[in-house]
Amino acid sequence: MIAAVADCSQSASDRFACRGRDLRFWLNVFFPFCRFLSLPKARADFDLLFVFDTAVFPIFNEQSGQELRRWLKLNSKTTAGLFTPAGKPFFIVSRSYFKNEGLVLEPGMIRALRAKPRAECLEFKNPVTFCNPLQEPQKIEAALIAWQIRQLQKRGVCFENYGNFYLEGLMPIGRNSVIGSGVTIKGDCRIGKNVTICANSYIENSRIGDGCIILPGSVIRDSLVEADVQLGPYCHLRNGVQIKKGAKIGNFVEMKKSVMGRGSKAMHLTYIGDARVGRKVNIGAGTITCNYDGEKKNPTQIGDNVFIGSGTELVAPLAIHSDSYIGAGSTITEDVPRHALAVARQRQKNIPGWVLRKRKKKIPQTP
């Protein structure tokens, strides 16, 4: 077994925390062949042990990492000694050396190893980079992002601008997807195949289905987006939104704790909160769900094949049944039955000649 420990009195999470991630996270990236051992409870049942200094973290590039893995594969059962790459404060200890020297799994191992006879130097064709994870987290982030970009490129993912892209965590992005400039992807995300994410979009803790198009400036948090959905530009999904297959969410549309049904669309200047929208619904520009009554949030239910005209206010709690129409500019306060047209506005009144009479009053009288 190849294991690793952090030589620190604090927990690994406290000492190696870097933007929400601990040593286990970094080991999965840079040392996937290692098993993590916590101090001082771990048993010395390893073949080779990595010991990290509390102030540094070693980063291997892809070639030097492969070289190290080959070395470990060849020597994990036979090597007996103490090794360090180019004399850096990072050690590889064999089980026999660990037992013969009377070492113990506790804080201060680095100091004990430095006091022992000089470690054998491991020379790699590609140098190992060391940085302080607390003072220089950006170096680790940059190495991680660069590593992930290389892996994703092998799967056909296209990045428009490597230098202006932020990816936090280890997450899959499907084949043949395109990631635009200024995109941020954070937390627990899954991006499907053939997805296009345009410039300056922000995605956090969300699932994006196959074939989706996310136009510039969109914000997606804690949401589920099914396949073949178009979002944006400048839409905002948050707090458990679900967008069903083939739906469209357009310019300056905000959704919160809501479901948008298959093939439905809200394309302009709309707020949808605490609502369930059925299939093939058209929500006109400027429509809002008035879900807050000053004390609690209230739900809105919208059935299938509903047409909602522009500038409509839906005062929740409310149910709009399938195959109904709502006239533009209406304020709807009561349920709308199926196949009905709801119009809630005053009848227009035209007053002939009103403008001429108004202007005549403003003309000063000649003395």
Buried b / exposed e across 168-188, counting CB within 10 Å, b at 16+? bbebebbeebbbbebbebbee
- 306 neighbors 324 (Cβ within 8 angstroms): yes
- Cα dihedral 293, 296, 302, 308, rounded to 10, equals 30
- The residue type of 167 is L
Residues known to be catalytic? 268
d(CA 146, CA 11): 28
DSSP H or E run through 100: helix 95-100
The span from the CA of 201 to the CA of 217, in Å, is 5
Cα–Cα distance measured from residue 156 to residue 151, given in angstroms and rounded to the nearest whole number: 9
DSSP result, 1-41: -EEEEE--SS-HHHHH-BTTB-HHHHHHHH-TT-EE--TTT
**Cβ neighbours for 49, distance < 8 A, ≥ 6 positions apart:** 2, 3, 4, 5, 37, 92, 93, 94, 95, 98
Rounded CA-CA distance 198/182 in Å is 9
Q: Give the residue carrying structure tokens 């995300």.
A: 189
Q: Which pairing describes strands 213-214 and 230-231: parallel, antiparallel, or unpaired? A: parallel
Residue 244 in tokens: 């069903």
Q: What is the DSSP letter of 245?
A: T
Q: Return d(Cα 120, Cα 79) in angstroms, integer.
A: 11
CA distance 206 to 184: 12
